[in-house]
Amino acid sequence: MNENIKYFVAAALVVALSIGAALYISIKSPPAPAPHAPAAAPAPKAPPEEPAVKYPIAATPAPDPLPPLNKSDEPLLGALADLIGKVPAQQFVVPQDLIRKIVVTIDNLPNPKVAERLRPVKPVTGRLATTGGEDALKLDPANYDRYKPLVQLIRSVDDEKLIAIYVRYYPLFQEAYENLGHPPQYFNDRVIEVIDHLLAAPELKDPIALAQPNVQFEFADAALESRSAGQKVLMRMGSANAAAVKEKLRALRTQLVEQKPAN
């Protein structure tokens, strides 16, 4: 079981489909051949349409211009330190390539795995605690205590101030998202999609059976083990911790969806 915690999330992937049609004309040969009309020049191809933005982020005036993406770590870390405190920021946040790591982690949370080297948040301390023997492995509820400091921090964050930081730096989040090589898409739409995916994580009750086919622990239930990396983080932190994180995600989702484009 990979012991990362990734809690920034979400958004809607808009897929555009185009349908082409072929016209087949059956021509009966006349007694005397008639001259053929010149073939019509093919119509120029229209540029691909960008998907509609579902959840736009309102641009807000700022006293200072944004730094370039590759120089955004220091000011963003400073803003986060002002929000959550300097010590928690140093304790939990990975300080290098922060925006890129947030973006790629969010984008990959619905996938089976998220690369550890790209995580924006440091792993929780300690080792995963289990009970029972090889034939009756279970997740020890004491394991949930390891997540409590981070979950408490998440609960204490001021939603409006966090959203204000996100909106302020949104052009850089969008730039980093486009740099992943996706077709034109809107990062905040992806954020909402991922939040919805995380909120759909099942709520587990103790005891939670585990297996250890190799070095890492897995959920013994194959249906649970097949869940995404993001959902499995919520599933193994305990129902109380997961409920607190989901409550925060719902609150952030509401604010992100209510963002209106500037006139």
Taking residue 189's Cβ as centre, other Cβ atoms within 10 Å add up to 23
For residue 196 the two structure tokens come to 């919805």
For residue 130 the two structure tokens come to 């289990």
CA distances from 9 to 14, 72, 93, 112 (A): 17, 20, 16, 15
CB 99 within 8 A of CB 76: yes
Cα–Cα dist 226/112, whole Å = 7
CB 103 within 8 A of CB 11: no
Cα–Cα dist 245/37, whole Å = 69
pLDDT of residue 15: 24
pLDDT of residue 14: 25
pLDDT of residue 45: 55
Taking residue 175's Cβ as centre, other Cβ atoms within 10 Å add up to 17
Pairing of strands 138-139, 130-131: antiparallel
- The tens-digit pLDDT sequence of the chain (263 residues) is 544 333 333 222 222 222 121 212 222 223 334 444 444 555 555 555 666 899 999 877 777 899 999 999 999 999 999 999 999 999 999 999 999 999 999 999 999 999 888 999 988 888 888 999 878 999 999 999 999 999 999 999 999 999 999 999 999 999 999 999 888 899 999 999 999 999 999 999 999 999 999 888 999 999 999 999 999 999 999 999 999 999 999 999 999 998 655 44
pLDDT of residue 99: 97
H or E element at residue 186: none
pLDDT of residue 2: 40
Count of helices and strands (H, E) across the chain: 10, 4
Taking residue 17's Cβ as centre, other Cβ atoms within 10 Å add up to 4
